[in-house]
Structure formats: C-alpha cells, structure tokens
Amino acid sequence: MPLNAIRELAPTGKLRAGMNLGNTLWTRQSASGELFGVSVDLMQELAKRLGVELEMLIYEQPGQVADDSAKGVWDIAILAIEKTRAQTISFSPAMTEIEAGYVVHQNSSLQSIDDVDTSGMKIAAPEKAGYELYLTSTLKNASIVRTKNFTASMELFNQTRVDVLSGLKPNLIESMHQIPDGKLLSGNFMTINHSFATALGKNQANVYLENFVNELIGTGFVAKSIERHQIKGLIAIRG
C-alpha cells in the first residue's frame, strides 16, 4: 500500500466520506439514521483496504457535496462525472451508468426527448444535480426551473407550474404513482456515470483509486452490491 496514497486519501487518519442522500439509488438512510446502500459498501471496502476508520458525513444534495470539495471537509465522495465539477474535483474511472429522462403532462404535445428543448418550455430540475448541470450547458431554448430536490420538482410539476419534470429514470418510474397527470417520454437526454471523487491535486490517491476501481469492476463487486440492494436502473460498468 503506497503511504502517499493513504496520506492523501485519509490525511486525518480517518477516511471522511461525503455521503449524498439526494440520490437514493446510491445511499439510503434507515429510520434509525443508519446509512446503507451501494455507496456505503464501496466506502467500507475502500476504508478496509486503506486500513483506516470510515467516517461518513451526511449531505442532503449532491451539489452540497461538490461545493465542499475544496474545503477539506471530506476526503472521498461518489458523484456524477460532470465537466463543471471537474474544475475542482478529480474523478476516478466510472463505476456505473444510469439514464436521465423526462416526464410531461398527459395533454402535452411533446412526443419525444428531442421535442423538449423548445422556446417557452419550463423544465424542473434539482439545482446542481448532475443532470441539471448538463441541461444548463446544453439547452438552447427551454428554461430550467431549479428546485431544492427531486420531491420539490415533482410538486412543481403536479401544480402545473412547469411543463416537464426531469430526473433519473429509475426515480421517475418509481414515482409515477405520485404524478397522476404525468407520462414518461421514451429514451433519455443523457447517460450519467458515477465515480469516486476527490479534491484536485491528490495524484497518488488518483492512481490508487484508478487501480481500485478497475479491480472492483473486474471482480464484479459493484454489480453484486447493486443486486444485493435491489437497485433497479443503476448499471455497473463491466470490465
């Protein structure tokens, strides 16, 4: 084990992991407050490999995790790979992929993903979510109504204050019973990859994480964790 990698990944002697509750496909919290999910499995395995204690720091939204990347609050996180975040964050190789899509109103004239980016269309999206950042950089005509979280986006949609609800497709599909006036458009507007994230400048940590991720992919660790937690729509990268 390279000592420099340990120092960069756990400078306090603990592995401080930023855990994002905004993406329930990765991290969930029990009624007692205990965290569980694919991200917890991965963080526990990394801490075990490094031979250090794991300390999990809870965040409500991914944007909050990303905002703290340069503050030395956390050492490691799991985030969607996104070019804006790459200005302050280093990403390991991708571990998973997931589609993001749209829900529109039943009486909407929109028939496909490509129809959405038209003048006057309002799309609800959680601020600083990976897919919101993507939409911000790619939409040419439609406007984004930024919300606190996915639940708030659904509320706006149900109040008919927006034309389109954006989200991770598994979350959209799982939530359709809460969106009585909604219909899911086929296809996706992007595929999101998640990976380990660290603050910039940790070169030895980046090398270690690359090898670690490649090993996890090769052994099927990520796929087995997804299967164990019965997460539908989150797909492990295959070696």
How confident is the model over 153-181, as a mean pLDDT? Answer: 95
Let me know whether 150 and 34 are in one domain: no
Q: Residue 145: which H helix or E strand, with range? A: strand 143-147
Q: Whole-angstrom Cα distance, residue 200 to residue 140?
A: 31
In tens, the pLDDT along 20-33 reads 998 888 999 999 99
How confident is the model over 186-195, as a mean pLDDT? Answer: 96
How confident is the model over 190-208, as a mean pLDDT? Answer: 96
Q: How confident is the model at residue 23, as a pLDDT? A: 85
Let me know whether 154 and 172 are in one domain: yes
How many CA atoms lie within 13 Å of 196's alpha carbon, on the beta-carbon side?
29
How confident is the model over 121-145, as a mean pLDDT? Answer: 96
In tens, the pLDDT along 31-48 reads 999 999 999 999 999 999
Domain with residue 135: its CATH number is 3.40.190.10
pLDDT greater than 80 at residue 3: no
Task: State the residue range of the domain holding 83.
Answer: 3-96+193-236
pLDDT greater than 90 at residue 164: yes
Phi, psi for residue 56 in degrees, rounded to 5: -100, 125
Q: Whole-angstrom Cα distance, residue 53 to residue 39?
A: 16
Helix (H, G, I), strand (E, B) or coil at 179: coil
Let me know whether 163 and 54 are in one domain: no
pLDDT greater than 90 at residue 211: yes
Query: Quick one: which of 126, 152, 147, 17 has its CA closest to 62?
Result: 126
Torsion of CA 168, 93, 62, 74, to 10 degrees: 160
Query: Quick one: which of 178, 149, 171 has its CA closest to 101?
Result: 171
- Straight-line distance from the first to the last Cα atom of the chain, in angstroms, rounded to the nearest whole number: 23
Asked if 108 and 127 touch (Cβ cutoff 8 Å), the reply is no
Let me know whether 92 and 8 are in one domain: yes
% of the chain beyond a pLDDT of 70: 100
Q: Residue 48: which H helix or E strand, with range? A: helix 38-50
Q: How confident is the model at residue 58, as a pLDDT? A: 96
Q: How confident is the model at residue 1, as a pLDDT? A: 58
- Residue 219 pLDDT grade (very low, low, confident, very high; cuts 50, 70, 90): very high
Let me know whether 73 and 110 are in one domain: no
Number of C-beta neighbours around residue 33 at 10 A:
7
Let me know whether 226 and 186 are in one domain: no
Helix (H, G, I), strand (E, B) or coil at 188: coil
Kindly report the length of the chain: 239
pTM of the model as a whole: 0.86
Residue 233 falls in which region: left (phi positive, over 0), alpha (psi -120 to 50) or beta: left
Q: How confident is the model at residue 127, as a pLDDT? A: 94
Helix (H, G, I), strand (E, B) or coil at 55: strand
Let me know whether 130 and 104 are in one domain: yes
Asked if 43 and 37 touch (Cβ cutoff 8 Å), the reply is no
pLDDT greater than 80 at residue 239: no
> pLDDT averaged over the chain?
95
pLDDT greater than 80 at residue 61: yes
